[in-house]
Amino acid sequence: FMRVTVIGSGYVGLVTGACLSDLGFKVVCLDKDEDKVKMLQAGEVPIYEPGLKELLSRNHAEGRIRFTTDAQLAIDHGDILFIAVGTPAQEDGSADLAHVLSVASMVGRNLKDFKLIVNKSTVPVGTADRVRAAVKHELTQRGMSSEMFDVVSNPEFLKEGAAIDDFMRPDRIVVGIDDGIHHEKSQRMMGDLYASFNRHHSRTVWMDVRSAELTKYAANAMLATRISFMNEIANLADALGADVDQIRRGIGADNRIGYSFLYAGCGYGGSCFPKDTQALVNTAQAHGQLMSVVGATEQVNERQKTLLVDRLVKRLGDDLTGRKIAVWGLAFKPNTDDMREAPSRVVIKSLLERGAHVTAYDPVAGHEAMMALKLDCVGQETLLNNFTLVAHDMDALHGVDALMVLTEWKNFHNPDFQAMKLSMRTPYILDGRNLYNPDALADLGIAYQGVGRRNELINLSVEPVMLETSVLNA
């Protein structure tokens, strides 16, 4: 009976620990943050992910998962040690491996018998070699055998907002194991760990470690490229009077292409696509290679984040002083409170710098959004005097000159348009996620601009009106 230790209780670590404990494994989650560990022990969860709190609470109550700051206890417990700590982007775009290598050294200092070390964090090619070297160094310092462990790669493929389902119903499980004295043992242990998912047909894709490390980056870069490609098609569709939604249906019907990740919008964000595309480009450059397509994907995405502001400015003028703009949706995607690289951050700061007052609503990410915007406005704190966070979606609309929809939360899909029109000073919607039917809104007399949706504006009459500046509503 194998036991599992997960080092790092962030997004990947908590989902991994919760799901493995739900499969019956005894799991210990190790984190150096005492406050986070106390929160988890008390049944609270530091991140929002549908179903995660309930899953952790049930398995904690049944004794299958526990949380600690005690490194020795955690290392002694697990036969398999998952490294699931953050790898944030550095200024040059490369992945910061300080946390990963720190964990490797900590493991080496506490190792007493054989352990299988599994890199779950998203890491550049060659990281397993560096982890192996760090552990060996500590073992040598202790006068112990440097052969009492193995390092394998098992990258995660979890979508925020659907992570538990992705883990429990995987389309594939990538495991990278190199040849060596422990190859058969490591493969057997990883096979046993994921046996529940392979009972009906094999979902595990076995490969060498470096291929597994690169597979994670390649997958995210491919998906990001599809999004940026569709955004470029959408912008061209606007210029030509075509409809990107019809185009999406037309090309998605080709089974070589499919429908996934073909939705145009105001840009992608989150913890994976921006960071991983940058890291991939940086890795290529370090090895004398040029990733032209991935580089262009990043450039298109950065431009796309300013699209709605550019359209608003075209209609209302560059000086938005006295204008009141509503924003629906702050998180980078629905079913998460993650604000990392969210398009809303670029949009809101740009509006505030132009003098607009912004009223914003998000059903989950309000607190995280305030923290992110405070970081974005360091040195420009007075900008936040014109930002108001509201508790209900309709509260954001009173007297506004425009509404920007930036996240496709389900409760935004079918709003009361008549009530919205009565509340807004100017019935003007800039739909960054293409949620609404342009023809239906035209019939209601609401001006509408989507992304690639034949953006003729009707019934849009705007006059400059000076509004009182509100104070920050934190």
Q: Is the dihedral of CA 14, 16, 19, 23 positive or negative?
A: negative
What average pLDDT does range 83-107 have in this prediction?
A: 92
Nearest Cα to Cα of residue 281 among 90, 99, 11: 90
What average pLDDT does range 172-193 have in this prediction?
A: 96
What average pLDDT does range 324-346 have in this prediction?
A: 97
Answer with the residue of higher pLDDT: 89 or 323.
Answer: 323
Q: Which residues are catalytic?
A: 272
Is residue 88 predicted with pLDDT exceeding 60? yes
**What tokens were used for 398?**
């009173």
What average pLDDT does range 371-388 have in this prediction?
A: 97
Is residue 437 predicted with pLDDT exceeding 60? yes
CA 335 – CA 333 distance, rounded (Å)? 7
User: What region does 362 belong to: left with phi over 0, alpha with psi -120 to 50, or beta?
Assistant: beta
* Pair 25, 64: CB distance under 8 Å: yes
Is residue 459 predicted with pLDDT exceeding 90? no
What average pLDDT does range 272-276 have in this prediction?
A: 92
What average pLDDT does range 91-102 have in this prediction?
A: 90
- Predicted local confidence at residue 220, as pLDDT: 96
Cβ burial 397-407 (10 Å sphere, 16+ → b, else e): beebbbbbbbb
Could you give the C-alpha distances from 115 to 82, 122, 272, in angstroms and in order?
10, 21, 29
Is residue 456 predicted with pLDDT exceeding 90? no
Cβ burial 369-380 (10 Å sphere, 16+ → b, else e): bbebbeebbeee
Tell me: the pLDDT tens digits for 149-177? 999 999 999 999 999 999 999 999 999 99
Nearest Cα to Cα of residue 182 among 138, 228, 139, 146: 146
**Which residue is it, tokens 């009182």?**
468
Tell me: the pLDDT tens digits for 50-60? 999 999 999 99
What average pLDDT does range 64-78 have in this prediction?
A: 97
- Cα-flanking dihedrals φ and ψ of residue 44, to 5°? -95, 155
Surface-to-core class of residue 336, CB atoms within 10 Å of its CB (0-12 exposed, 13-18 middle, 19+ buried):
buried
Nearest Cα to Cα of residue 400 among 380, 372, 430: 430
Cβ burial 438-457 (10 Å sphere, 16+ → b, else e): beebeeeebbbbbbbbbbee
- Predicted local confidence at residue 271, as pLDDT: 87
